Structure 1
Amino acid sequence: MSKFYLSLTIFTMLIIMSACGENSDPSSVETESSEGNNDAVEAAGDEREGWPETFIFGLLPIEDQGELMKRHEPLISYLEDELGIDVEFYNATSYTALIEAMANDHLHASTFGPFSYLVAHERADAEAFAIPVSEEGGTAEDIYYYAQMITLEEHNIDALADIEGQSLAYADPASTSGHLFPKAMLINELGLTLDNVDEFPSDVVFSGSHEASLYSVLNGDVKTAGVCSTCIELVFERVEDHENFDQLKVFHESEPIPGGPYVIKGDLPDSFKQAVKEAFLTMGDSEVGQEFLEANEYHGGFFEIDHDTYDVVQETAEALGMSPEELLE
């Protein structure tokens, strides 16, 4: 009997020891698993270190701000989903305001015209990373657009020389296609100089945007205006009912200009800049992203670019003898 109890005691102890061993193993596994999760979280945290809590994106003032906001609303939802942070728009009244806001860390990214981008690159450490294409299935050649001179048929303006003595509207002092390329055309093709080019028309005004310049011509406030080809195409539906729309014509066009870039501030973390770039380059894969592309007629999505794309614009600025300070005036 004593041997029986001894065996039973030993058997019981073995069961208890086995149970304790089993209980300790899950504890050990759980600890290892927990440590693994913490490492993953810390790794993700390291990758996103320095990211802004809210991504501030500036809007280029090429048209009515209400319409601009409406067309860009899907972009907020798309970027918030892709980046995992809040996104807000920064509304500016001029290119200069956007540049100064970026230089003072009030916004992280924006769209710019080619010339204003050069200023933003120098003044605000802006880096070009993508450019939209309007043609579905477009190629790298489709990143270019034109500066156009427009008028009404009734004014009998058919060439740059006919601008002499007529009123002329530019969009914004730092606008590539709405001011600088049109002015360069007058200088290069008519033999004018920086000293007398603004005296060639009877009057020169700055309307503030391409759409405002278009309306200035349609309403008869000025005889002619310099505008961007793609910007005007965006607003045709809103102006086609204007009584003078059928008289509107393009009488001169520039050489190809690289389109306005999407840019980001250079001192942001590389991981964030890469995430933003990838979000734009793959926008067509998202339903919400596609909504933004369609609303803005970016049927070809976005192409990757860099600063070298704007060498031709830099050369034009130098030909005009215009410094960044003069571009902002």
Structure 2
Amino acid sequence: MKKWLGFALTLCLIVMLAACGDNNKTEENNSGEKKNEGTSEAFTIGVIPVQTEGAMEGAMDKLQTLLSDKLNRDVKVEVYPDYNGVVEAMNYDKIDMAYFGPLTYVVAHEKSGAEAIITQLIEGEPFYHSYIITHKDNPYNSLDDLLKNPAKINFAFGDINSTSGSLIPSIELKDRGVYQSEDDNKFKTVRFTGSHDATALAVQNKQVDAGAIDSAIYNQLVESGKVDEKQIKTIWKSEKLFQYPWAVHKDTDKDTIKTLKETFKAIDDKDILGAFGATGFTDASNKDYESIRQAAIKQGIIKE
């Protein structure tokens, strides 16, 4: 009887050990499955709000579908509410790629090593300008006219981190002795509208006397009928600025970069191109933004 009892206990022990082995295999399999799932995580892209978010939604859906197909993985494109949010998302590894303004790009490159790979073309050229615009009813036909009595002027910038909507025009106004900061200037009022279309509409609706805006976005707003060109005149134009870059996370592999470049340069969808005021895309690199980096250093935004 004791022999049979000992045999039964031994058998139970064997069964229990076998079950533990199966559980360990299951855990290993589950772990392996999770690892495989990790490699197929969505490729995430953050986009600065060059226009109000609703105006870009349909185009971003199309871009998301196109890139998902070409990369053979899920792609998620998100328009962020402000420029700085995209920089921080790249800095904290929340996104794999970003559409930056030139200024936000040089900041992101300094902070996280983001690398520009693509930029947009406007009528075949990878350049644009910063404009200062005013309503046609105003007596100002030049920036000199506008600044004769700045204490009477309500002035609008776009996003505080915008290149053409803030950095470049603020340097021009600083050089002319009328602007140091939002709180230190000679204007009647200074405001930051947050986007280029908001600035254009503020000028058109006479909510401000003048505003700074991206030339390509302004032309797009006119072409789409969102802004009436007959109501607005341009009184200042900057030197050429290299266009907005698409930049990847520093750890992005070469094959993905190659696919992204090929895909962007082949885009001819008018909705996608139109969202950026573009006629196409071309290669870009960090060296293309050296002049913006120097401007950011001059304004104390980044250190040399």
What is the TM-score with the length of structure 1 in the denominator? 0.73
Does residue 225 in structure 1 map to residue 211 in structure 2?
yes
**Deviation, structure 1 residue 60:** 1.5
Change (3 A) 1:195 1:293: closer
Q: Which amino acid aligns with 2:168?
A: F
Q: Which amino acid aligns with 1:323?
A: I
Match of 1:89 in 2: 77
**Deviation, structure 1 residue 110:** 1.4
Contact 1:71-1:296 at 8 Å conserved across structures: no
Q: Distance in 2 between matches of 1:278 and 1:205?
A: 40
Change (3 A) 1:218 1:291: closer
Q: Distance in 2 between matches of 1:87 and 1:180?
A: 32
Contact 1:198-1:204 at 8 Å conserved across structures: no
Residue 302 of structure 1: which of 278, 281, 295 is its match? 281
Residue 249 of structure 1: which of 233, 243, 255 is its match? 233
Match of 2:160 in 1: 173
Does residue 324 in structure 1 map to residue 287 in structure 2?
no
Q: Distance in 1 between matches of 2:297 and 2:47?
A: 27
Residue 99 of structure 1: which of 87, 111, 127 is its match? 87
Q: Which amino acid aligns with 1:131?
A: T
Contact 1:51-1:268 at 8 Å conserved across structures: no
Contact 2:56-2:275 at 8 Å conserved across structures: no
Q: Distance in 1 between matches of 2:192 and 2:135?
A: 19
Q: Secondary structure at the match of 2:137?
A: helix
Residue 182 of structure 1: which of 166, 169, 175 is its match? 169
1:190-201 matches, within 5 Å, as 190-191=176-177, 194=180, 198-201=184-187
- Uncovered stretches (5+) of structure 2, i.e. residues with no partner: 1-35
**Deviation, structure 1 residue 143:** 0.7
Match of 1:8 in 2: none
**Number of equivalenced pairs:** 263
Match of 1:276 in 2: 260
Match of 1:153 in 2: 136
Match of 1:30 in 2: none
In our comparison, the structure showing a higher alpha carbon Rg is: 1
Q: Deviations over 1:238-260 (max 9, x none)?
A: 324x6xx5221101100111111
Change (3 A) 1:81 1:290: farther
Q: Distance in 1 between matches of 2:237 and 2:40?
A: 42
**Deviation, structure 1 residue 59:** 1.7
Match of 2:245 in 1: 261
Q: Secondary structure at the match of 2:207?
A: coil
Contact 1:51-1:272 at 8 Å conserved across structures: no
Residue 204 of structure 1: which of 180, 187, 190 is its match? 190
Q: Distance in 1 between matches of 2:267 and 2:154?
A: 42
Q: Distance in 2 between matches of 1:181 and 1:197?
A: 18
More helix by share: 1
Match of 1:19 in 2: none
Q: Which amino acid aligns with 1:172?
A: D
Q: After the TM superposition, list the runs of 4 or more consecutive aligned residues in structure 1 that deviate by more than 6 angstroms.
A: none
Change (3 A) 1:197 1:157: farther
Q: Distance in 2 between matches of 1:204 and 1:108?
A: 35
Q: Deviations over 1:271-290 (max 9, x none)?
A: 32232223223335xxxx56
Change (3 A) 1:118 1:294: closer
Q: Distance in 2 between matches of 1:278 and 1:324?
A: 32
Q: Deviations over 1:201-222 (max 9, x none)?
A: 1111000100111111112211
Does residue 114 in structure 1 map to residue 102 in structure 2?
yes
Q: Distance in 2 between matches of 1:157 and 1:198?
A: 23
**Deviation, structure 1 residue 191:** 4.4
Contact 1:125-1:267 at 8 Å conserved across structures: no
Q: Distance in 2 between matches of 1:67 and 1:211?
A: 10
Change (3 A) 1:208 1:259: same
Contact 1:167-1:223 at 8 Å conserved across structures: yes
Contact 2:43-2:76 at 8 Å conserved across structures: yes
Change (3 A) 1:220 1:192: closer
Match of 1:36 in 2: none
Change (3 A) 1:95 1:65: same
